[in-house]
Structure 1
C-alpha cells in the first residue's frame, strides 16, 4: 500500500471506546450518570435487544445483543434508552479527527473502534505508547469520553490488548512478550473463535494458545477448515495484515466479526444498525451514492453468501440502508443457521458522482 512502510516492526494502535453509546447518553443526560442503562431494547423488557450497556449495568451481566427481557431480569433497575445514531455518528467523526492529527493510516472497524498505524506519525513523536496516551487524553478533554488502547506490532495483538484494562486502559505488548502472551491466551479470545468453535477446541483439550501451538498447520486445517491456517499463524503472533485506510473504488462498506455466533434475527438487526452508520458516513464524507446495496453474511461454518438490491437512483442515507439490509436478511433462510460476520456495502456508483464545490455549486467527478 502506498505511503505505508513495512519495517521490521510496525507500530499499531487499536482504539476502542468504552461503552460508547451508553457513555454518550450518560454524558448528555446527567440523570443517567452512575446508573445502569441499556441503549436499545425496550422499557419493561418488552422485546428488542440491547445495543450496548453502561458499566453499571454490565456489573449485573447485561451485555450487547442480550434480549431486553433478560437484561431486565438480571438488573431490574436498568434504564432502557432509545439509540441516537445521528449523535453517535457525529461523535465518531470528531474522534476520527483526533486520529488524523497523528496519522492518515486509519482503519475504522465501527463507529467506536479503529486501527491506527503510527510507524511514521505526523508529529514525529516516535512512541506509539505516547501517541495512544495523547489520543486518549484528547478524547477525554474534548469529548468527555474515555477510550481504551492496545499497542503492539500487529493488528491482532493490539486489538486484544485494548480489551485488557477496560475502561480507560492502555496496554502495550511488545515483540519480546508476544510469544508468551499468545501461549497464555484463552482460545475464546482468539479472533474468529466463536462459542461453537471455542467449545469444539475445549472438547479437544485445547484451552490456550499453547495448546493450539502443539498442533501442526495441517491438523488445524483438518479440524477447523480454512480458519486453521489463520489460527496457526496467529498463535505464533504472526499477523501481516496492513492497516487499510478507506479508499473509495468500486464499493464502500464495513463489516464486523462477532465475539460469538449470532442466532436470533433481533441480534443481527442490532449489529446491522451499528454497521450501517459507518457505511453511510463514509459515503457522505466522500460524496458518493451507490445504486446497489449488498448484505454479506458469513455463517459459523465459514460459508459466505451475499444478497443485493439495486435502485434507480443513488443511495447514501442511513434509513434506506438499514431498512434494505434488514429486508435482505429476511429473504435468507436462517433456519438453524448461526452468523459469525455481517457486512454492508454500496456499489454501482456509475461513471459520474456528484461532488459539492466550495461555492455550493455542484459539478461532476469522473471515476476512473
Structure 2
C-alpha cells in the first residue's frame, strides 16, 4: 500500500497556479503585484518534522520534491492498521502537532497515490483501488497525470485524447510514435502499471540541489573578478547547505557573457561538502577549464547538487587534510552565526575587498531550490 502525501499550509485555501512567466513580465502585466520571498528554511523545517511523524509508521519514505513524499506502509498494517487508518492517523497528528493540513492519496502504486493526493485539497484523503480507479481516475483530464505537461497535453489534444481514460486506451505504438519513450511512460502511468518501489529512508536529501546566480554589478573582465563573485555565491550556497543539514557531491556553474553566450558545467567532488572554500575552488576550476574570455561576463551561477544529509558516513581520505577541513567547517559556522545576528556585511573576507563594487554584492539575498524528480533514481 502506497501513500502519497502532499503538504498544504493550513491557511492556504487554494493552490496557486504555476506559471513560467518571468518576474519582469508579471510586473508588466500587474504593476501593483507584490513579490513575497519564500521562507525555504521554514518550509524545510516543517518538511523535516513531517518526516519524523512519517517515520513512526514506516522506514520506506521517498521524497518527491521538498513538499511531497511516498510512504510504503504495507509492512506496518499488522501493527498500525490498513492504509486508510494510517492516513487518517497521520492527518490528525499533523493538524494537532504541527498546525497544518496534509492531502493524502492511497493506492497500490505510487502514480495513483500521488494523483490521489492532488485529487482533493487542502485537507482530504482519497483512495484509488483496483475496483474504483477506472470510474474515478479515467474521467479526469489527461493533464492531471504526472508528466503530462502543457506541451504534451497539446499534442494529445490534437488526436482527441482529453482524459486519462483516453490515454490509457490509446494504442501504445501510436503514442510511442508521437511522443517517443515518454509516450509509453504516460500510457503505463494512465493504466496504473507502476511497480517502482518506494525507496527506503536513507541519506538522500528531499531536494535535488541548492543554487544561486546573479547578474553582476558590472561586467567581469578577468579571473579575479570572477573569483570574487564565485566566493559570494559559494558563501550563499554553502550557508544554506549547512542551514538545512545537507552536503553536496557535485558543484555546477553557469556562465553568461555580454554577448549572451550561455553554458553550464559541473564536476563531481571527492567527498560531499558544505565548505565554502571547497565549493568556490571547484567553481573556479570549472571556469578556468571551460572559458577563455571571448567576451566580458554578465552573469554567474553556482549550484550544489546530488545532495545528501550532513550526517552521512564518509570514508576519510589519505589525500585530503581532514584537520584543515574541520577548521574550515568551524570557521564557516562561526561566520554563519555572526551574519545571522548582525547581518551579511558584518563579516567578510578580506579577499572580497580587492574590488569595492563587486564586494557589495549580497548573494545570500536570493537562492534557488531544485526539487527531486520522479526519475532521479
> TM-score over 0.5 for the alignment?
yes
Which residue pairs with 2:316 in the alignment?
Answer: 352
- 1:77, CA displacement in angstroms? 7.9
Equivalent of residue 235 in structure 1, options 182, 190, 194: 190
5 Å matches for 1:1-368?
11-18=1-8, 20=9, 54-55=12-13, 63=18, 66-68=21-23, 80-121=35-76, 124-248=79-203, 254-255=207-208, 280=241, 284=245, 289-293=247-251, 307-309=265-267, 314-316=272-274, 344-346=305-307, 351-352=315-316
SS at the partner of 1:191?
Answer: coil
Which consecutive residues of structure 1, in runs of 5 or more, have no partner in the other structure? 1-10, 27-53, 257-264, 267-275, 296-304, 332-341, 355-368
Q: Distance in 1 between matches of 2:133 and 2:4?
A: 16
* Distance change (3 Å), C-alpha of 1:116 and 1:315: same
CA contact (8 A) 2:62 2:201 kept: yes
Larger radius of gyration: 2
Q: Distance in 1 between matches of 2:206 and 2:63?
A: 11
SS at the partner of 1:148?
Answer: strand
Q: Distance in 2 between matches of 1:211 and 1:70?
A: 36
* Distance change (3 Å), C-alpha of 1:78 and 1:16: farther
The normalised TM-score by structure 1 is 0.58
SS at the partner of 1:93?
Answer: helix
- 1:71, CA displacement in angstroms? 6.0
Which consecutive residues of structure 2, in runs of 5 or more, have no partner in the other structure? 216-236, 254-262, 291-302, 323-377
Residues 235-265 of structure 1, C-alpha deviations (whole Å, 9 max, x = no match): 22211011112444xx868459xxxxxxxx9
| Greater length-normalized contact order (CA 8 Å, ≥ 6 residues apart) | 2
CA contact (8 A) 1:283 1:316 kept: no
* Distance change (3 Å), C-alpha of 1:63 and 1:223: closer
Q: Distance in 1 between matches of 2:115 and 2:125?
A: 11
CA contact (8 A) 2:141 2:163 kept: yes
* Distance change (3 Å), C-alpha of 1:229 and 1:139: same
Q: Distance in 1 between matches of 2:168 and 2:267?
A: 44
CA contact (8 A) 2:66 2:206 kept: no
CA contact (8 A) 1:188 1:195 kept: yes
Residues 86-121 of structure 1, C-alpha deviations (whole Å, 9 max, x = no match): 222211111110101111110011222100011122
Residues 315-339 of structure 1, C-alpha deviations (whole Å, 9 max, x = no match): 2379x98xx99xx9xx9xxxxxxxx
CA contact (8 A) 2:248 2:305 kept: no
Q: Distance in 2 between matches of 1:141 and 1:172?
A: 23
Provide the alpha-carbon RMSD of the alignment: 4.4
